[in-house]
């Protein structure tokens, strides 16, 4: 009897990282002529060129990604004491995926709400909704915190530190 180790998840994660790294490196490489002052790939031989360092790095990320892919495929299926997913790692399976999606949606909507309804209103709604999603069910305390925290931050930033916070287009 041995410990169950999610080797398939580990292999998939490594290959995903490797694929992303390669795509990223290739994308940067292809974007150089368009995004770096009209330079082309010959810039790798010219230290003065603004494209020199990005080309060097994009080549490096492609090489490192290839190494990761190669070593992952070579060792796939083997019990890897060092790389396998362990209990307690961030890479553990997600217990409540809907909760994560809900929180992520809150963050995105909050960003858009900042420019629409302003920081205070958006923050009140965020605290109420997000705490509910995360399982907090004491609505009185949630309401109190939702009122106090944004107002405290407003007074701290705008009245004490003289830092403007986002104002909404609507109010």
Partner 1 sequence: MLSDLFNGITSFFGLIAITSAFLGLIAGIVIGALPGLTATMTVAVLTPFTFFMETAIALPFLLGIYKGAIYGGSIPAILINTPGTNAAAATTLDGYPLSKQGHSRKALEISLYGSVIADMAGTMVLIAVTAPLAAIAIKFSSPEFAILFIFALTMIAGVSGRSFAKGLIGATIGALIGCIGLDPMSGHQRFTFGVPDLTGGISLVPVLIGMFALSEILIQSERRVIGAISSVTEGVQKHLSLAELRANLVTIFRSTGIGIFLGALPGLGAEIACWVAYGDAKRTSKNPGLFGKGSLEGVAAAESGNNATVPATLIPMLVFGIPGDTVTAVLLGAFMAQGLLPGPLLFQQHSDVIYGLFGILLLTNVLLLLFGLVAIRSFRHVVAIPQSILLPCVTVLCFAGAYAVSSNLFDVLVLLIGGFAGYAMRKTGVPIPPFVIALLLAPPLENALRQSLLFSDDGILIFITRPISAAMLAVLLVGCGILVWRTIAARRKGGGRSVTPSGAE
Residues 6+ apart with CB under 8 A from 117: 168, 170, 171
Out of 108, 140, 159, 169, the only residue in the binding site for partner 1 (CB under 8 A) is 108
Question: How many residues are given for the chain?
Answer: 171
Q: Tell me if 124 sits within 8 A of 171, measured CB to CB.
A: no
Residue 98: C-alpha distances to residues 94, 103, 105, 139, 151 (Å) = 9, 9, 10, 21, 30
Task: Choose, by CB under 8 A, the member of 110, 121, 147, 168 that binds partner 1.
Answer: 110
Site residues (CB under 8 A) for partner 1, limited to 37-96: 37, 47-54, 57-58, 60-61, 64-65, 67-68, 71, 75, 77-83, 85, 89-91, 94-96
Size of the site for partner 1 (CB under 8 A): 90
The span from the CA of 54 to the CA of 41, in Å, is 10
Q: Which of 28, 27, 33, 63 is nearest to 49 (CA)?
A: 33
Nearer CB in complex with partner 1: 66/171:
66
At residue 40, φ and ψ (nearest 5 deg) are: -125, -170
Site string for partner 1, 14-43 (x = CB under 8 A): x-xxx--x--xx--x--x---xxx------
Residue number, 89 or 171, with CB nearest to partner 1 = 89
For residue 165, state whether it binds partner 1 (rule: CB under 8 A). yes
Find the shortest distance in angstroms from Cβ 57 to partner 1: 5
What is the residue whose two structure tokens read 């405290």?
Answer: 152
Q: Which residue among 26, 33, 44, 103 contacts partner 1 (CB under 8 A)?
A: 103
Nearest approach in angstroms of CB 65 to partner 1 is: 6
């Amino acid at each position: 009897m041995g410990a169950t180790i999610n080797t398939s998840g580990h292999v998939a994660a490594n290959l995903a990282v490797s694929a992303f790294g390669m795509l990223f490196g290739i994308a940067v490489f292809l974007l150089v002529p368009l995004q770096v002052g009209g330079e082309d790939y010959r810039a790798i031989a010219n230290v003065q060129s603004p494209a020199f360092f990005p080309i060097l790095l994009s080549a490096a990320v492609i090489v490192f990604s290839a190494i990761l892919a190669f070593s992952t495929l070579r060792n796939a299926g083997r019990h890897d004491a060092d790389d396998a997913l362990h209990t307690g790692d961030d890479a553990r399976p997600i217990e409540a995926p809907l909760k994560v999606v809900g929180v992520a949606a809150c963050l995105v909507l909050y960003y858009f709400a900042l420019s629409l309804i302003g920081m205070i209103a958006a923050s009140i709604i965020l605290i109420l909704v997000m705490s509910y999603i995360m399982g907090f069910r004491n609505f009185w305390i949630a309401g109190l915190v939702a009122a106090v925290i944004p107002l405290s931050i407003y007074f701290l930033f705008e009245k004490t530190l003289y830092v403007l916070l986002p104002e909404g287009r609507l109010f």
